[in-house]
Amino acid sequence: MANSLEKFRIFIANAYRDSASGEAFQSYNPFTGEPWAEIPKCDARDVDAAVEAAHCALYNGPWGRMTPTQRGALMRKLGDLITRDADKLAATEVRDNGKLLTEVKAQVGYLPQWLYFYGGLADKINGSVIPIDKNEMFSYTLREPVGVVAAIVPWNSPLMLMMWKLAPALAAGCTMVIKPSEFTSASMLQLAALFAEAGFPDGVVNVVTGFGGDVGDALTSHPLVAKVAFTGGEIAGRKIIENSAASFKRLTLELGGKSAQIVFPDAELDAAVVGGISGIFAASGQTCIAGSRLLVHESIYQQYTEKFVAMARQARMGDPMDLSTQVGPVTTQPQYERILTHIDNARSDGARCMLGGEPAKRPECGTGWFIEPTVFADVDASMRIARHEVFGPVVAIIPFKDDEEAYRIANDTDYGLAAGVWTTSIKRATVAPKRLRAGTVWVNTYRAASFLAPFGGVKMSGFGRENGVEAIDQYLETKCVWLSYGSDTRNPFVMG
C-alpha cells in the first residue's frame, strides 16, 4: 500500500523539495477510510528555510522592488492558471477532505475572482497628504506591506480559505508561508507549482506541511513572521496568540461558530426549510458558519420541524465524487468520533432525536466516515448540543415565543460568526441584523459568500476581516513621513 500512495513534496523558493527530516505521514480518503497520499513531515528547519525565503523575497529580492501594477499582473496570471487546472485541483481536494465535488468545483472555479479583484486593488492603495498644523512642514503617509505572513488553513475548505488570505496579502506586497492542515495538504501542494509557472519570484509563496507542535508553533513564533492569518478552532487560536505575543505579531483569527437561524412566524416556510437544510447539512455541517441552531417560532414549530425532517430524510449520501451526492463523509476520523460524542451528550441531556443520530450504514457510504443527518428537536438553549460547536451534520431546533426571546437565545453563545433570519417583514429584516451579535447576518438566504463581502467574527469567533476592500488593510502598515522645508533653526530641546 505504501508504495502505491501518491507522494507530495513541500514548496520553498519556487522549488519542490523533501522535508529536512525526510519523514512523511499519510493522508486518508474520507470516503474509503484508506490512505491515498504521503505528505512531508516538516519541522522547525523547514519553517526556517521557508520564512527566510519569504523574508529575502520581500526585503532583498525582486518582489519588494516590483511596482504594485506588476504584482497585480502576476496575480491575474495565477488566476488564469487556476482556471486551467481547476478540475484537477478540485478532484485532489475531494480525495483529501471528502467534500462534495459539486461544491469544491464551484469553490475552486471561483478562486480566480479573488486574484482578479485584489490584483486590481494592488495599484490603488493610497496614502494621504496631511494638512498639517505646522508652518513650513509637509506630511504624508505611505501604505506598506506588513511583512512575512504565516497563513494557517483548516481542513474543511483548504484552497478557498487559503485564497481569502493569499490574495489580499499579495496585493499588499507581503510574502507568505502557508501551512495547510495535516489532514488536507495535497491540494495546496499541487497548486504551489502554479506560482512558479505564473512568474512569481522565488520565495514569495512557500508551503510547509506537518503538525501543529512541529510546524505550527515554529511558524507562529518565528521572529521574522510579522503577521499570522488563521482559520480554525479556538484552542489553536489561543496557542497562536501565545506564540505570537513575544514579538507582537499582527493577527487575523477566524475561529469557531454556533450560528443561529431564526425562523419568524411570517417566514416563507418552504424557503426557510431549504435554508435551514443548507445551513447545517451542506458540507456535512463541517463549516464554521453552520446554522447549527434553528430557532423557530412556537406557532409554526411543529409544521416547520415536520417539513425539515422530511426533507433531511431524503438527502442522498454517498461518494463525494458522484455529482448526485448531497451529503458526504466527515473529513477525519477524530472528528467523526467527536460528532458521535456530541450526539450521545444531546440524548443524555434530554433532546429528542427525530432523525439520524448514528453512523450511516447505507451501502452507498462504503467504508467511509459517514454520519446520518441528525435532527434534535425540543432543545433547551442550555443543553450542550445548543452551546458546543459540533462541526458535523447535527442540528438543534429550539422554539421561541417572541422576537425578544429569539434575539436573547441567538446571542446567548460564546461565538459570533454568523446568523440567519427568515422573515417577510421589512421591519424584522432591518431590525434583526442590528440586534444579532455576529460578523455576518443573512436575511432570507444562507451561506452566500463573495470576494467583495467582508467576513469575520466577534466574541470567541475571532477578530479581523477577510474578503472585501477591508481585508487588504489587514496586511498593510501606515508610515507617516515629515518633510521640513523651512530655514528657521528650532530649539532642539522642545518638541515641535
Which of the residues are catalytic? 254, 288
Ramachandran category for residue 340: left, alpha or beta (phi over 0 → left; psi -120 to 50 → alpha): alpha
Contact (CB, 8 A) for 29 and 36: yes
Separation between Cα atoms, residue 140 and residue 482, nearest integer Å: 7
Separation between Cα atoms, residue 219 and residue 215, nearest integer Å: 6
The residues with which 143 forms a beta bridge, in sequence order, are: 478
Based on C-alpha coordinates, what's the Rg of the chain? 24
Name residues whose C-beta falls within 8 Å of residue 344's C-beta, 6 or more positions apart in sequence. none
Contact (CB, 8 A) for 237 and 288: no
Separation between Cα atoms, residue 217 and residue 214, nearest integer Å: 6
Give the residue among 373, 368, 392 at the shortest CA–CA distance from 318.
368
Q: In the sheet that 260-263 helps form, which strands lie side by side, from edge to edge?
A: 352-355, 374-377, 394-400, 293-297, 260-263, 418-422, 440-443
Separation between Cα atoms, residue 261 and residue 421, nearest integer Å: 6
> Nearest 5°: phi and psi at 437?
-90, 90
Longest dimension (CA), the chain: 88
Contact (CB, 8 A) for 263 and 272: yes
Packing angle between helix 186-198 and helix 86-97, nearest 10 degrees? 160
Contact (CB, 8 A) for 201 and 12: no
